[in-house]
Amino acid sequence: MKTNSVEKGWITENQAREIAENFGTPVYAYSQKILEEQADKALNFPNAYGLTVRYAMKANPNNNIIRIFTNKGIRIDASSGYEVLRSIRAGIPPSKILLTSQEIPSDLEQLVGLGVNYNACSLNQLQEYGKLNPCTAVTVRINPGTGSGSTNRTNVGGPSSSFGIWHENFEDILSIAKKYSLEIKRMHTHIGSGSDPKVWQEVARKSLDYAKKLIDAKHDVKILNLGGGFKVARMDDEKGTDLQECGAPIKEAFADFYNTTGKKLRLEIEPGTFLVANAGVLLAKVTDVVSTSSYDFIKINSGMTEVTRPCLYGAQHPIAVIPKNPDEKRGTKKYIVAGHCCESGDILTPAPSNPEELMPREMTEAKIGDIVVIGGAGAYCSGMSTKNYNSFPEAAEVLICNDGKIKGIRERQSLDQIIINELKII
């Protein structure tokens, strides 16, 4: 597997050197241009009777990225009460936020009072919401019995997943809604990250069947939210989801639903990875080059503290070496890229979907001081890293703006900030 080019062509070697020089490493860099292009693609998703796009902000919660999408007309999918509050602080109106969480926030009543939309993901959540907010509208998330993800760890549907109300408990949904006079106006399903488009389409059709059951039970369902999880090709040998091909049959299914029920449902989707993954890179530096009888290793000043996905489930990211001296010409060599943590699993070049197996990559021959570009780092990297392991500070973040200017959007964390909440009792 050869990966010896700068990620997707949007960041130049000179830009990478400039960012590393001015902001230090490790540092995330994002492209405003790519973020906006991906937003436009999502907003053009096929639909029959209207579309709402929500950004799954857990993919990358930086407030500047949130605002870029908000300025495009995209709303927010929040996965915790804290993400809701973070969105509000970023300037997002509460009415444009949908909260879909594994646990009930302690301040749920206050959040709903502000106008936040709530998605009940279990029978207990629906019950508790009903107690706090009887005679109101609510969303319900249903586990349709089928899931799909790029790995088992990113599959959030089917019998092995705790996400959503199990479809066989559908009558219990109706009973609880009746008990508290709740109006179910939105139904939600989401089956996983990096899902198979065919499975996504299958679940979309199943979801329409459940929406019809809700309508038959006299609930005024207006919106069907089919989640996100659209596969993105980070690597050259991966195939991403074409949103037009994926959505066209579902647009027809919504039209058929109207012909059968007389109900025009608005479609919602919740992309995260699709919007941000390939709009971001991580820049690090080569700190050492070592060899054993079996492998040559590049050691860098980053790793699982910034990109956890490879060691978590064998995720693949393109990696390129940029020589410190732009005029120096070198050959290529196969390397394992090792992170800076005192952890044998801190490897950025595992075999696909197998974090236990090493897979060397061919790249430019590396020397200490070179820059390493790790691509596909816009999603589930800065927001899902093992921050502060080995007491490494949280990395800085920059945005390459449409005018070409490079601006910091997060300062590097200091040691004082890492330990600020520790209490001395001894």
DSSP secondary structure letters along 9-55 = GTS-HHHHHHHHHHH-SSEEEEEHHHHHHHHHHHHT---SS-EEEEE
65-74, 88-97, 164-173, 190-199 — which is least confidently predicted?
190-199
Mean pLDDT (the chain, rounded): 92
Confirm if 30 and 279 have CB atoms less than 8 A apart: yes
Q: According to the model, what pLDDT value does residue 402 have?
A: 97
d(CA 342, CA 340): 7
Query: Does residue 243 come out as left (phi exceeding 0), alpha (psi in the -120 to 50 range) or beta?
Result: alpha
Query: Does residue 98 come out as left (phi exceeding 0), alpha (psi in the -120 to 50 range) or beta?
Result: beta
Ordered structural domains, the chain, with CATH: 7-29+278-412 (2.40.37.10), 32-276 (3.20.20.10)
Q: Which two tokens stand for residue 190?
A: 């989401």
Q: According to the model, what pLDDT value does residue 160 have?
A: 60
Per-residue pLDDT for 153 more than 60?
Answer: no
Those residues with Cβ within 8 angstroms of residue 15's Cβ, 6 or more apart along the chain or in another chain: 29, 400, 406
d(CA 309, CA 368): 25
Q: What is the mean pLDDT of residues 289-306?
A: 97
Condensed to tens digits (0 to 9), the pLDDT of residues 164-200 reads: 899 889 999 999 999 999 999 999 998 765 557 788 8
Condensed to tens digits (0 to 9), the pLDDT of residues 190-221 reads: 876 555 778 888 888 889 999 999 999 999 99
Those residues with Cβ within 8 angstroms of residue 8's Cβ, 6 or more apart along the chain or in another chain: 34, 278, 375
Chain centroid to CA 316? 15
For the chain, percent of residues with pLDDT exceeding 70: 93
Confidence grade of residue 155 (pLDDT, cut at 50, 70, 90): very low
d(CA 361, CA 334): 5
Predicted TM-score of the model (pTM): 0.93
Confidence grade of residue 6 (pLDDT, cut at 50, 70, 90): low
Rg (CA), the chain: 23
Per-residue pLDDT for 359 more than 50?
Answer: yes
* Residue whose C-alpha is closest to residue 78's, from 270, 261, 233, 365: 270
**CB count, 10 Å around CB of 355?**
18
237-246, 266-275, 283-292 — which is least confidently predicted?
237-246
